Structure 1
Amino acid sequence: MRPLITASGLSKSYGAKLALNNVDFEINKGAPVALVGPNGAGKTTLFSLLCGYIAPSKGSLEILGHKPGSAALFNKVSALPQDAQLDPRFNIDKQLAFYAKLQGMGAKQSQTEALRVLDLVGLKEIAKQRAGDLSHGMRKRVTIAQALIGAPQIVMLDEATAGLDPIHAREVRELVSELSEQATFILSSHDLTELERLCSQVLHLDKGVLSEHQTKTNNTDKHFYTLMLSEAYQNVEQQLQAIAGVSRVYMSQHKEYVVEYQPTSDPLDIALLSFCHQQHWQYRQLVNGHTLENQIFKQEKV
């Protein structure tokens, strides 16, 4: 199967500043892809290149076999910036129908398309409401609906859950997961835990250099868990070590512990969670293997 996106030797300079340096990657159709990295790493530059807003200084970039921004990609690629806004004065269906008309749809088809994408994000019932009357979480879902107009094959979301409370952030993550059958999503975010829940492929940028990670397929060590606690507790390693089947426990980061167990033992997820409950420990996540954050930082320290 031909990759959706292929970058080869991709570089971008702004004067003497090298924003991207000889980047190579492929993105295939399927599960969402994460683009991560600190501020100034080159994420915005890469997004701009993918959208066709700017041209590379060196190398090549192809999307569905074409150069970004070309007419052949019309309606096939969509991008939603972090600060995307809705006009608070107008009804949701009218706004979405307007964007559908910009893609060449007629009046009747554009209204049908507006209702279709609202249905995809579970908000068809608020079609006649004004954007200004919606909650922040609902407005975010509507902007994602906007990005789905025309049924694009690739949808790029920049900081899709920025500014959302945990409940609305979870709803957006679940929405993207559900919509992955409709399109391939590329998500940029600083929240590594959030992306780990969604993405199988991770593109990690740092100072314009890209290293690629697979959160599932590259995580081959299956005989340990990563336990992330919400608070710092006393003697965590010693207490976890006492659980039957546990061979070693160590702290990988603050409030994050790696629990190794014997390959012949039964999986310890239920035992670990039960123990946390018994000790009244609050936890954020239990992962079979390394967390994405642990993988990235472990490589950076090498």
Structure 2
Amino acid sequence: MSLLIEAKGVSHFFGSKQALSDVNIELESGQPIALVGPNGAGKTTLFSLICGYLQPSQGEIRVLGHKPGSAALFGQLSALPQDALLSPDFSVGEQLSLFARLQGFSSAQARKECERVLELVDLSQTINNRPNELSHGMKKRVCIAQALMGEPKLVMLDEATAGLDPVNARAIRELVSSLCGQTTFVLSSHDLSELERLCDRVLYLQQGKLVTHELTSQGAQTRYLTLQLREQNDDIIAHLQALESVIDVTNSQRNEFVIGYNQLAGDVAMDIKVLQLCHERQWQYRALVNGHTLENQLFATGA
């Protein structure tokens, strides 16, 4: 079976400006993949190269074993740019049916495919509405429905939940999770907490270079928990370090503590110990994360 995405020595220039430098990737299909990095890091360039909008200045990219933009990827790869728009002059059903026809569906099949993808995003009732009759969140979900037409194997979503209210953002996250068994999503976003909920793998770009493409896993010896409290408490590090099997505790940022520990055979699980301590000390906590948060992996721990 071919890799989902493979890049070998990929660099790209815009005139004298280098946007990507010697990027190497090997990714298989499966769980959603995060594409993150600061503005200007090369995310949009890599996104465009994978989709075939641009050709690399150096190196080679293969998607599902084929060169991006080739006919073999027609219907297999779908992309939704951040600022994708719908025409205000035609109904949702007319536009989606047109896109389906462009993929080779017959008129009858196109209508059924339109109905199928609208049902996926829970917007069947909008089929006869024009986009200007819909909320911003509903428009975004219609655009995602368009990206799902034809059941592509790879879907690229750029800032899919940007500007959405919590209800619509959650609906999109749930949709991605429900479809990840049949479609692999590459999600570009600045919302690290959202990506952390969805993704096991990360493509992290910094100044055009791929710094990491995999979340740091729990090691065989040292493991980590991240405790987020509602307010700062005196001597919390001392209390946490006093727990049996704890190696070190780091105050990674305000009200957040990374606990390194060894899990001994037959010992009480460390998360239970931490929660018991919170109860005893009456500490109000926001979250207890198994491992490092994605933010700390990328920016604090150098992972």
Q: Is the shorter-chain TM-score for this pair beyond 0.5, marking a shared fold?
A: yes
Which amino acid in 2 is paired with 1:94? E
| Partners of 2:245 and 2:263 within 8 A in 1 | no
Q: After superposition, what is the alpha-carbon deviation per residue over 1:6-65, rounded to whole angstroms, capped at 9, x for unaligned?
A: 100101011111110111001211101111110000001101111111111110011122
Mapping 1:55-74, distance limit 5 Å: 55-74=55-74
CA–CA separation in structure 1 for the residues paired with 2:120 and 2:241? 47
CA–CA separation in structure 2 for the residues paired with 1:128 and 1:271? 56
Aligned to 1:269: 271
Which amino acid in 1 is paired with 2:42? G
**In the alignment, structure 1 residue 219 sits paired with structure 2 residue 221:** no
For structure 2, list consecutive stretches of 5 or more residues without a partner in the other structure: none
How many Å apart are 1:94 and its aligned residue?
2.4
Mapping 1:199-218, distance limit 5 Å: 199-215=199-215, 218=217
> Is 13-22 or 79-88 further displaced after alignment?
79-88
Aligned to 2:102: 102
Which amino acid in 2 is paired with 1:219? Q
Aligned to 2:19: 19
| Partners of 2:37 and 2:204 within 8 A in 1 | yes
CA–CA separation in structure 2 for the residues paired with 1:234 and 1:143? 49
Aligned to 2:150: 150
How many Å apart are 1:244 and its aligned residue?
6.9
| Partners of 1:222 and 1:288 within 8 A in 2 | no
How many Å apart are 1:274 and its aligned residue?
6.1
Q: Give SS of 1:196's match.
A: helix
Which amino acid in 2 is paired with 1:66? H
Aligned to 2:164: 164
| Partners of 1:3 and 1:64 within 8 A in 2 | yes
Q: Give SS of 1:98's match.
A: helix
Q: After superposition, what is the alpha-carbon deviation per residue over 1:142-197, rounded to whole angstroms, capped at 9, x for unaligned?
A: 21111001111110000111112333322222211111122111111112222121
Q: Give SS of 2:175's match.
A: helix
| Partners of 1:219 and 1:290 within 8 A in 2 | no
Q: Give SS of 2:149's match.
A: coil
| Partners of 1:229 and 1:255 within 8 A in 2 | yes
How many Å apart are 1:226 and its aligned residue?
0.8
What is the number of equivalent residue pairs in this alignment?
299
After superposition, the Cα gap between the structure-2 partners of 1:101 and 1:233, relative to the gap in structure 1 and judged at 3 Å, is farther
Q: After superposition, what is the alpha-carbon deviation per residue over 1:220-256, rounded to whole angstroms, capped at 9, x for unaligned?
A: 2663311234554554434545667656432122332
Q: Give SS of 1:293's match.
A: helix
After superposition, the Cα gap between the structure-2 partners of 1:270 and 1:163, relative to the gap in structure 1 and judged at 3 Å, is farther
Q: Give SS of 2:30's match.
A: coil
CA–CA separation in structure 2 for the residues paired with 1:137 and 1:236? 42
Q: After superposition, what is the alpha-carbon deviation per residue over 1:111-144, rounded to whole angstroms, capped at 9, x for unaligned?
A: 1001111222233344334433333333322211
How many Å apart are 1:105 and its aligned residue?
1.7
Aligned to 1:4: 4
| Partners of 2:5 and 2:28 within 8 A in 1 | yes
**In the alignment, structure 1 residue 279 sits paired with structure 2 residue 278:** no
